[in-house]
Structure 1
Amino acid sequence: MGADTRGEIVAAARIEFAAKGYDATSLRAIASRAGVDPALIHHYFSGKAALFATVMAIPIDPSVIVSGLLHTPREQIGAAMVRSFFAIWDQPPGRERMQGLMRSAITNHEAGRMLREFLTGEVFTRVTAEMDARVPTVERPTSTPEIRGGLAAAQMVGVAIMRYVIEYGPVVDAGVEELVALLGPTLQAYVAPPPRS
């Protein structure tokens, strides 16, 4: 193994993610390509999501975002999700990386697929499923966490494109709290709608 083991793992992961997408890539396959024991990946990264975040230059480990969101009361999750994303995206390094990610996702099928699988699987669907688990089965929405998580992801990705790629003036100029007030109820309706009676 070379002196930059972490870098070799990231390079191997980049190839695996590009070839197979996020969902179909395993840490074992990445370790095999990098020529390391799979346990060594966990020495450098907290899991596949954190490794993907490094490969895609996402400025924060998604498990940190999800962990914070899972401690949010169910009735406040929509606003908390919006606020969390803008806290990351609106910082200068986050803004630049978000612009790069969104442009890549729009122009490159594989980049779009990886970002879609990552956002829906690791963040939105995961949080949505947890919010469903907080209410009795008979009170849960009839639609699946996957479709509602996907719609929540679509909402935020669309806003990210308007704010960071197309740079539509009114959306760019809007303050975070204004966006939270406008988008929070929509995400709330997807991620944690009122229990069915």
Structure 2
Amino acid sequence: MTAHRKLIRRTALAATTGVAALVLAACGSDGGHDMGSMDSDSSPSASASASAEAGAHNDADVSFATGMIQHHRQAVEMAEMAADRASSQEVKDLATKIKGAQDPEIKTMSGWLTSWGEEVPADMSGMEGHDMSSGMPSMPGMMSSGDMDKLGKASGTEFDTMFLDMMVQHHEGAVDSAKTVKADGKYGPATKLADDVITAQTAEIKQMNKMLGKS
């Protein structure tokens, strides 16, 4: 009886050892294949290269972000005046739309500059006698401090006309700057934002010219 039990134990042990060997061999084969596939499909160097390319930028991108932040801030300042100075509800609605679109873009571009180790321009909007373009990259369409003072003193239909005339010039300058960074820039998100600016502000230029009776 004892000999019979020993024989059963030896047989079971041999069977278990054989199964374990087969499992290990299978795992080793599959694991080697998977790791090889992973290495060939997504190597660390390839991932790093793709990441670097996505974040690459140049001086044109920096100039665009720096200048457009100030450009947008001035547009927002103009739009905020419309709340209690415009007589046309259409002008007020347009001003609200402009502020709603450009405020988030200011935050986005400020984030870019910070991530690039560049200085975010100080917010000079709302300061009496300020010239927002002072010391900044030249941005087409920017209003002078004198223009802003005149707009701030206008009201009613006079404000409506002045606001629309100025904002058309402002938008045309923004579109020109957007086209420049599309041609000379390197940073993908900046190019995407430039596309958005061109699309939205070209449509608003047409709308404002129609409101002015020019088209």
Q: Tell me the TM-score normalised to structure 2 length.
A: 0.29
Looking at CA atoms only, which structure, 1 or 2, has the larger radius of gyration? 2
Q: Tell me the TM-score normalised to structure 1 length.
A: 0.31
